[in-house]
Amino acid sequence: MASAPYLQVEGLWKAFGGLQAVKDVRFGVVKGAITSLIGPNGAGKTTVFDLISGFLIPDRGRIIFRGRDLTGFRPHEIVSLGIARTFQHLGLFYQLSVWDNVFLALPAKRREQLWAVFLPRRAVREEEGLLVDRTAEILEFLGLGDKASEQVANLSWGDQKLVSIGRLLATDSEFLLMDEPAAGLSDEQIVHLKSLLKGLVARGKTVLLIDHNMEAILDISDWVIVLNFGQILAAGKPAEILANEDVVRVYLGV
Amino acid sequence: MAHWLLLQLLINGIVAGSLYALLAISFATIYAPTKTFHFAHASIYVYSGYFLYQFAMGWGWPLPVSILGGVVTAGAMGVLVDRVVYTPLRRSGAGVMEVLLSSFAVFVVLQSVLLLVWKSDPRTIRVPEVLKNGIPFGVLTVTPLDLLTVATAGAVLAAVAVFMRYTRLGKAIRAIENDAGMAVMVGIPTEGVRMATFFLGSALVAVAAVFTALDKGLEPTIGVQALLVAVVAMIVGGVGSFPGAALAGLLLGVVENLGIWKIPSEWKSTITFSVLALFLLFRPSGFFGQRVARYSE
Amino acid sequence: MNYFFYVISLVAIYGILTVSLNLVVGYTAILSVAHAAFMGIGAYAAALLLTGWGFNFFATLPVAMAVAGLVSGILAVSTLRLKGDYYIIGSFGFQVILYNVFLNWIGLTGGPFGIRNIPRPQAFGSNLRYAILTLGFLAVCLWVARRVGESPYGKVLRAIREDEAAAASIGKNVTRYKVSVFVLSSMLASVGGALYAGLISYIDPFTFTIHESIFLLALVIIGGSGNVYGSVVGAAVLIVIPEALRFFDVPTTVASPIREILYGLLMILFLRFRPKGLLPERITPGMVR
């Protein structure tokens, strides 16, 4: 093989009771690309995310990330390996401020350990100064700077989605899984989202995203994988997918 | 040799276990469909014993009528707790944690009211002599009350199984247990079913309480122990599995009583807890339950 | 006046117990019904070391905390990795068992007769001085709770309270946080228990029941879940009011059920009509600079 893929999903199976949610799914993700996982509701897209991010354990199959088998790692350990995700329902910390949501996701804070809580402020001032700068930088990048001290529960849906992306970035992960980032956004906001995503790739991130609306994100995707009833129906460049008869049939329900 | 002793303990275990099976099923009847961790179930248990005491000893009703009265009153009381405390709380937008906290509070209030009404002295219920005279089988003895206990528990459990499987209401309860949202969509009157589960669960726990009271008498504090048994049996059997819970209850009774062979009886609940601890550590889903998720989404 | 200082000490001790429980229940939304058991561990550890081994009172505290920390760690590790209800069941079982241990391990605990003549530290013998001592401990406890609450650690606890999966998705080891805060809480509770033993000078198993655990939960809820000052207020209100019953000629067999009915009803009413309690939680937006 010329270049081993960045992420390799090998023969993944997952069932819930009698429902086979994911059937023999295998695909690769190339570093520095935007890969889209599309398909109708209930196709198993989020299950694939849950499997990669350690929230579910596959019945069969393996996930290899940069040569490392992810099987058996718990969700927080997956993050420390450099993979982070968002949720379709966002799952923000709604009682906390925008600032705290992003700040908390930054890794390696000493005062996140119980014993270090009692350190004098000046012992952590320098370290936390850097974290403060990093938080401010992320909020600035997302255009949330002036909303930093607002409680997340009071934000609009669009801003909440930005916070979820901010939280994702703050984990410092290089591989980002985004569950339906475009859902519920206006056309304008989608344009903003696309430029954000391109900006992320330019900064060296790799993106795998879920979308059930074919058109929204397809044009900035480098590779598209179509799931249907837990199986891969097609995979290819966006143009190929749009021309694929099977895919069109699934989407139009013909 | 102590073979006969072991056998006697086994028999005692089966008698106790048949009531434990009832306890487990009674708690699961409410917990599985409503997801309410009904701590005040412990109070319903104690109260049903005292209702029986009041009817039989206080007002001199015939024993069978008193038993039936105790069971029905307990059922009504369970529904009342739900309607007066849990349901208004749920409707005010409180979460699972608040409802659970309120169930602790209900337990405390009911317990204290009981102390004011019936005082803390132990009570016994007069039972026809014949029921308590042991029937010897070689060196072993069984009382008619024991036999009646096991027979009643068996019959009630069988009736519950038939009820859950074949009646409309039973099917509705199981439907809500599997998927509450779906149950609402297909038009199951969930509030009505909820009341039915509270009635049924409370009546079932009363059956267990009544037979315990006839055999061992009453004290205001017996509820917590009974609740612990019920919950442990439910976990060991696997949440959501009624046969599992019943079987685990039976097993728990046997294990506790066999344990007495070597361990003083005041450590009974420690044995119960050890069984729980082992399951929580190694098999939290119990014998027949679904795998326990690591994180709730 | 002497009695007044006795009540002050009692309020301070229950303040410590409630503040420590609030770390678990309020900050993290872990529901524990075993707090009285850890109070009991502290009380028994101190009482045994004081009466049997001639320990200095202050030397008993590290031992009490170590025992409570160890035991709570084992309980937490085995149950906190599971979903919510399982934890409640674990703590419920643990509370019942520990009560049984206090009651039935007669060789160690004196069983139902308890332990008598527990001395106070020499310099704090009078009720006034003991009140000062307990208030000092309450102040330390509040400082710890504040420090924990306002740190990034405390913010992660709040994050876990809202959404465990989301906390895990940003790389936080949820189990480790829950276990550590639970151990801290139990250790503080053991200090409260030790101070209690010194104040009353007599302990028996009937103080450390599940009712006591529920009483402490009621104090947290009524005072304000997540607000540690609320916990002190809650403790003050619910200790002082029933103490006032003593001035009326109510026999204890009636007074203690009335006290329980009072806090039980208050708890239900607060949950229903003022779930945030007397002093609602305030989370600072946290611009750390």
Query: Does residue B159 have a pLDDT over 90?
Result: yes
- Give the whole-number percent of chain B exceeding pLDDT 90: 46
Averaged pLDDT of chain B: 87
* Every domain of chain C and the residues it spans: 2-208
C143: which 2 tokens?
A: 């400082």
Min distance C221 CA to chain A CA atoms (Å): 18
Beta bridge partners, A210, equal A37, A179
Query: What pLDDT is recorded for position A253?
Result: 60
- Check B102 against C217: CB less than 8 A apart: no
**Interstrand relation of A19-29 and A7-16 (parallel, antiparallel or unpaired):** antiparallel
C276 in reach of chain A (CB within 8 A): no
- Minimal-distance CA residue of chain C relative to B228: C93
Nearest CA of chain B to the CA of A124: how many Å?
32
DSSP chain C: -HHHHHHHHHHHHHHHHHHHHHIIIIIT----S-HHHHHHHHHHHHHHHHHHS---HHHHHHHHHHHHHHHHHHHHHHHTTS-HHHHHHHHHHHHHHHHHHHHH-HHHH-GGG-B--PPPPGGG-SHHHHHHHHHHHHHHHHHHHHHHHHSHHHHHHHHHHH-HHHHHHTT--HHHHHHHHHHHHHHHHHHHHHHHHHHHS-B-GGGSSHHHHHHHHHHHHHH-TT-HHHHHHHHHHHHHHHHHGGGTT--HHHHHHHHHHHHHHHHHHHHHH-TT-SS----------
What is the DSSP annotation of A7-44? EEEEEEEEEETTEEEEEEEEEEE-TT-EEEEE-STTSS
**A75 with B297: Cβ contact below 8 A:** no
Q: What percent of chain C has pLDDT over 70?
A: 98
In a domain, A54, yes or no: yes
Query: Using CA atoms, how far apart are residues C246 and C10, in angstroms rounded to an integer?
Result: 15
pLDDT in tens, C86-108: 788 888 888 988 998 888 888 88
Percent of chain C with pLDDT over 90: 54
- Per-residue pLDDT tens, chain A, 254 aa: give them: 446 689 999 999 998 877 889 999 999 999 999 999 988 888 889 999 999 999 999 999 999 999 899 988 999 999 999 999 999 999 999 999 999 999 999 986 778 888 888 888 888 888 888 899 999 999 999 988 899 999 999 999 999 999 999 999 999 999 999 999 988 888 888 888 999 999 999 999 999 999 877 677 788 899 999 998 889 998 888 888 888 888 888 776 64
CB nearest C170 (choices: A113, A128, A171):
A171
Is residue B245 scored above 80 in pLDDT? yes
The alpha carbon of residue A237 is apart from the nearest alpha carbon of chain B, in Å, by 34
Q: Taking a contact as any Cβ pair under 8 Å apart, which residues of chain C between 183 and 202 contact chain B?
A: none
A72-76, B87-91, B136-140, B246-250: range with lowest mean pLDDT:
B136-140
- Quote the number of domains for chain A: 1
Give me the mean pLDDT over the C35-39 stretch. Answer: 95
3-state secondary structure of A242: helix
A190 in helix, strand or coil? helix
**Residue A211, φ and ψ in degrees, nearest 5:** -150, 135
CA A192 to chain centre: 17
pLDDT of residue A123: 82
Q: Do A114 and C159 touch (CB under 8 A)?
A: no
Report the length, in residues, of chain B: 297
Q: Please name the residues between 75 and 114 in chain B that touch chain C, using a CB distance below 8 Å.
A: 85, 88-89, 92, 94, 96-98, 100-102, 104-109, 111-113
Candidate from B181-195, B202-216, B278-292 with smallest mean pLDDT = B278-292
Helix (H, G, I), strand (E, B) or coil at A218: helix
Q: In this predicted structure, what is the pLDDT of residue A105?
A: 93
Which subunits sit against C, judged by 3+ Cβ pairs under 8 A? Answer: A, B
C-alpha span between C228 and C145 (Å, rounded): 7
pLDDT at C172 over 60: yes
Q: How many CA atoms lie within 13 A of A211 on its CB side?
A: 24
Once rounded to an integer, what is the mean pLDDT over residues C191-207? 92
Q: Which residues of C touch B107 (CB under 8 A)?
A: 214, 264
Which chain A residues are closer than 8 Å to B288 by Cβ? none
Contact B254, B13 (CB under 8 A): yes
- pLDDT band at residue C286 using 50, 70 and 90 as cut-offs: low
Cβ <8 Å between A132 and C158: no
Write down the mean pLDDT value for chain C. 89
- Please give the Cα distance from A18 to A120 (Å, whole number): 55
The answer to whether residues C76 and C182 touch, using CB atoms and an 8 Å cutoff, is yes
Distance from CA of C109 to the nearest CA of B (A): 15
Cβ of residue C148 closer than 8 Å to a chain A Cβ: yes
Place of tokens 């009453």: B218
> Cα A19 to chain center, whole Å?
25
Range of the domain at A231: 7-82+173-252
Residue A253 and residue A41 in contact, taking contact as beta carbons nearer than 8 Å: no
State the chains in contact with B (3 or more Cβ–Cβ pairs under 8 Å): A, C
pLDDT for the residue B136: 81
State whether C162 and A118 contact (CB < 8 Å): no
Q: Does C288 touch chain A (CB under 8 A)?
A: yes
Half-sphere exposure of C26 (CA within 13 A, CB side): 36
* Residue C285 near chain A (CB below 8 Å): yes
**The total number of residues written for chain A in this structure:** 254
Q: Map residue A45 onto helix, strand or coil.
A: helix
Task: Reduce the DSSP state of residue A200 to 3 states and report it.
Answer: helix
CA distance B89 to chain C (A): 6
Q: How many CB pairs under 8 A join B and C?
A: 136
Q: Which residues 177-216 of chain B have a CB within 8 Å of chain C?
A: none
Cβ-Cβ contacts under 8 Å, B297 against chain A: 55, 91
Please indicate whether, in this complex, the C-beta atoms of A74 and B297 are within 8 angstroms of each other. no
**Distances from the Cα of A108 to the Cαs of A78, B289, C151, C181, in angstroms?**
15, 38, 14, 19
pLDDT at B1 over 60: no
Half-sphere exposure of B213 (CA within 13 A, CB side): 33
Contacts of C111 in chain B (CB under 8 A): none
Q: From the list A79, A92, A104, which residue is nearest C156 (CB)?
A: A104
Q: Is the CB of residue C285 less than 8 Å from the CB of residue A100?
A: yes
Q: What is the mean pLDDT of residues B39-64?
A: 94
Half-sphere exposure of A185 (CA within 13 A, CB side): 22
Please indicate, yes or no, if residue A106 is contained in any of the structural domains.
no
Predicted confidence (pLDDT) per residue in C219-229, tens digit: 999 999 999 99
User: Which residues numbered 162-191 in C keep a CB inside 8 Å of some CB on A?
Assistant: 162-163, 165-166, 168-174, 180-181, 184
Q: How far apart are CA C223 and CA C280, in angstroms?
A: 8
Q: Is B296 on the interface with C (CB under 8 A)?
A: yes
CATH number at residue A200: 3.40.50.300
**What's the pLDDT at B288?**
64
Nearest Cα residue in chain B from C103 = B266
CB-based contact B109 C29, cutoff 8 Å: no
A119 domain residue, yes or no: no
**Dihedral through CA C48, CA C52, CA C55, CA C58, nearest 10?**
20
Whether the Cβ atoms of residue C141 and residue C153 lie closer than 8 Å to each other: no
Which pairs count as long-range contacts for B182-187, CB under 8 Å and 24+ apart, including other chains? Answer: none
Burial annotation A34-44 (CB, 10 A radius, 16+ → b, else e): bbbbbbeeebb
DSSP state of A3: S
Cβ proximity of B269 and C97 under 8 Å:
yes
Closest CA to B106 of B46, B168, B39: B39
Interchain pair B273, C93: CB under 8 A: yes
* Structural domain contains residue A159: no
What pLDDT score was predicted for residue C111?
Answer: 80
Task: Say whether pLDDT at B174 is over 90.
Answer: no
pLDDT digit string, tens, across residues B70-99: 999 999 999 999 999 999 999 988 888 899
| CB contacts, 8 Å: A91 with chain B | 297
Token pair listed for A237: 């460049």
Do A99 and C184 count as a contact with CB atoms less than 8 A apart? no
Instruction: Please indicate, yes or no, if residue A220 is contained in any of the structural domains.
Output: yes
- Tell me the three state secondary structure of residue A232: strand
Q: Which residue of C has its CA nearest to B84?
A: C268
**Stretch 187-246 of chain A: residues touching chain C, C-beta under 8 Å:** none
* A74 lies within 8 A of chain B by CB: yes
Nearest chain A residue (CA) to C148: A117
Query: What does the pLDDT average to over B194-219?
Result: 94
B273: nearest CB among C33, C96, C275: C96
Identify whether A112 is part of a domain.
no
* Beta-carbon pairs below 8 A across chains A and B: 5
Q: What is the reported pLDDT for A1?
A: 41
User: Is A105 domain-assigned?
Assistant: no
Which of these, B135, B100, A136, lies nearest to C289 by C-alpha position?
A136
CA distance C285 to chain A (A): 5
Residue B297, pLDDT above cutoff 50: no
Per the CB < 8 A criterion, the answer to whether C226 and C21 are in contact is no
Confidence of residue B292 (pLDDT cuts 50, 70, 90): very low
Between β-strands B135-137 and B140-142, what pairing exists: parallel, antiparallel or unpaired?
antiparallel
Contact at 8 Å (CB) between C76 and C34? Answer: no
| Separation between Cα atoms, residue B49 and residue A182, nearest integer Å | 60
**First CA to last CA across chain B, in angstroms?**
56
Among the partner residues C83, C94, C271, nearest to B101 by beta-carbon distance:
C271
A75: which chain B residues are within 8 Å (Cβ-Cβ)?
A: 295
- Structural domains in chain B, CATH included, are 7-113+142-282 (1.10.3470.10)
What contacts C123, CB < 8 A, 6 or more positions away?
C129
Interface check for B291 against chain A (CB to CB < 8 A): the answer is no
* Phi, psi (deg, nearest 5) at residue C224: 130, 105
Are A161 and A137 within 8 A, CB to CB? no
Each residue of A53-66: pLDDT tens digit?
999 999 999 999 99
Residue C77 and residue C103 in contact, taking contact as beta carbons nearer than 8 Å = no
ipTM reported for the complex, 2 dp: 0.89
pLDDT score, position C96: 87
Q: Cα–Cα distances in Å, from C7 out to B290, C51, C196, C200? A: 51, 24, 12, 11
Residue B110: pLDDT over 80 = yes
Chain B hits for C31, CB-CB cut-off 8 Å, are 97, 100-101
Q: Identify the pLDDT of residue B258.
A: 85
